[in-house]
Chain A
Amino acid sequence: AQSVTQLDSHVSVSEGTPVLLRCNYSSSYSPSLFWYVQHPNKGLQLLLKYTSAATLVKGINGFEAEFKKSETSFHLTKPSAHMSDAAEYFCVVSEWDDKIIFGKGTRLHILP
């Protein structure tokens, strides 16, 4: 059975500095992996997805994620944080059995 672990419940970075949100997964098969963002009192929006093509995936708003099978990781990065990036971020794994499992989320705080 698949699972997702987001290693940090809260991350704080200063505006203009790099962002790293960590995600590890476990999956019996070749998973599909996603990152979603949820701004306060809003629904969820897809940031990027990995579906067994290139291991470095580019998403919206300057975010990227790298799939590392050997480390079972799918960490989300951004070179320079912006105040508007403050939100909740979810790492998601899905497999052939139609289950789509969310991590517990990481709250990103941007310090001025």
Chain B
Amino acid sequence: DTAVSQTPKYLVTQMGNDKSIKCEQNLGHDTMYWYKQDSKKFLKIMFSYNNKELIINETVPNRFSPKSPDKAHLNLHINSLELGDSAVYFCASTPSVNSPLHFGNGTRLTVT
């Protein structure tokens, strides 16, 4: 059984479009994250939710909007996609900050 699953695995779209990436975890964790990994492999935290409430919102353009309908899901919606949004986006969850992160397999977003 997949613990943290992201869909889609690949997403190719044109500039200006709006797209969503979904994330679900079946681990019962309270905290979920979105990370962006750029072409240099640098992982940057974007958002964190704890039990459906936003607790971390880094300096991310407001074109990015996370949504957590329940504590098992944290979706990422991106409006007006730009070339610089091309990256791999990872969802992760953890029961607490002192526990390891469980990662999804990533969504490779390519904006053309």
Chain A contact residues, CB within 8 Å of chain B = 32, 34, 36, 38, 42-46, 49, 51, 88, 90, 92, 94-102, 104-105, 107
CA–CA, A73 to B104, complex, Å?
28
Q: Return the 3 tightest CB-CB contacts between A and B, nearest first.
A: A102-B43, A46-B100, A43-B105
Q: Is the CB of A43 within 8 A of B90?
A: yes
- Chain A: minimal CB distance from B39 (Å): 12
A-B interface contact total, Cβ < 8 Å: 58
Could you tell me which B residues sit within 8 Å of A by CB distance? Answer: 31, 33, 35, 40-45, 48, 50, 55-56, 90, 92, 94, 97-98, 100-101, 103-106
Label chain A's interface by main secondary structure: strand
State which of B41, B97, B104, B105 has its C-beta within 8 Å of the C-beta of A32.
B97
CB A95 to nearest CB in B, in angstroms, measures 7
State in angstroms the CA–CA spacing of A94 and B99 once bound together.
9
Q: Are B41 and A88 in contact (CB under 8 A)?
A: yes
